[in-house]
Amino acid sequence: MLLDGEVVRSCITPASAAAGRSVTTIEGIADGDRLHPVQEAFAEHGVLQCGFCAPGMVVAAAALLRGTPRPTKAQIVEALNGNLCRCGTYPALVAAVQEAANDVGEANQR
- Condensed to tens digits (0 to 9), the pLDDT of residues 39-60 reads 999 999 988 888 888 999 999 9
Predicted pLDDT of residue 110: 43
Predicted pLDDT of residue 12: 93
The whole-model pTM stands at 0.88
Which strand ranges, in their side-by-side order, compose the sheet holding 6-7? 6-7, 2-3, 23-24
Number of domains in the chain: 1
Nearest to 21 by CA among 5, 6, 3, 1: 3
**Is residue 80 domain-resident?**
yes
**Is residue 26 domain-resident?**
no
pLDDT at 102 over 70: yes
Average pLDDT of the segment spanning 18-42: 94
Nearest to 8 by CA among 56, 44, 54, 67: 56
Task: Evaluate whether 13 touches 3 at the Cβ level (below 8 Å).
Answer: yes
Which residue range(s) make up the domain with 81? 31-109
Average pLDDT of the segment spanning 16-23: 97
User: Looking at residue 71, which CATH number applies to its domain?
Assistant: 1.10.150.120
